[in-house]
Amino acid sequence: MNDRNCQLILALDLPARGEALEMLDLLGDSVDWVKIGLQLFTAHGPEFVREVADRGYRIFLDLKLHDIPNTVAKAVQSIARLPVDLLTIHASGGSEMVAWADRARREHAPALTLLAVTVLTSMDAAQLKSINVSAGMERQVRDLAGLSLEAGAQGLVCSSLELAPLRAAFGPGPLIVTPGIRPAGAAADEQKRIMTPGQAAAAGSDFIVVGRPILKADDPAQAARAIRAELKS
């Protein structure tokens, strides 16, 4: 059994600022971490990040930056002015892009953790093949993870199904965040590679990301607390 202290991140994937803030009112202190993704960031920008952080939440900014190295580095420099703890970049941007992003992090926000996204949890082997990736899923994730960690990323985002091979390959050091987590009985939605919270924690995840099973629950705070209790057990 893994003894890492796996934590819950709420995926605040809602369409409007008011709806998102109402959800946080309902959740209160049942969550400590909030993921802000492209939907809310593109609609409401940096000020929304500050607004959520001012409520006492720690922020996972999930923008999956992927561009030429200079552009990504400048984006990291801009994000350094925000109260963000975790930030995603795409591993498929290559080692130079990751290295430039890490250099910007070290210069402007050394407390920020850069997470390299390996393969999206909505993708399966057939979709990889359709974009001419001939490697199998596990190899592709492992290769992108190794490239990113060597270039300076501090952590990874991957499916929980790749946790065991990544821990075997890279040990306990990298921080690993796993989206695509579904409590037992919850709908998978578009996610292809999923685990329950307890399974992900046991496999070596540092953070799990859960959205709809909390957001759509009759009692979101109770749903969040139940997931955190499962992680602790």
- The residues annotated with a catalytic role in the active site are 64
H/E element holding 87?
A: strand 86-90
- Measured distance CA(115)–CA(127) in Å, rounded: 23
H/E element holding 113?
A: strand 113-117
Nearest to 153 by CA among 179, 120, 122, 177: 177
Output the six-digit token pair for 85: 């703890």
First and final C-alpha spacing in the chain: 11
Residues 6 or more apart whose CB falls under 8 angstroms from that of 11 comprise: 35, 37, 62, 179, 209, 210, 211, 212, 215
Q: What residues form DSSP beta bridges with 58?
A: 33
Q: How many CA atoms lie within 13 A of 81 on its CB side?
A: 7
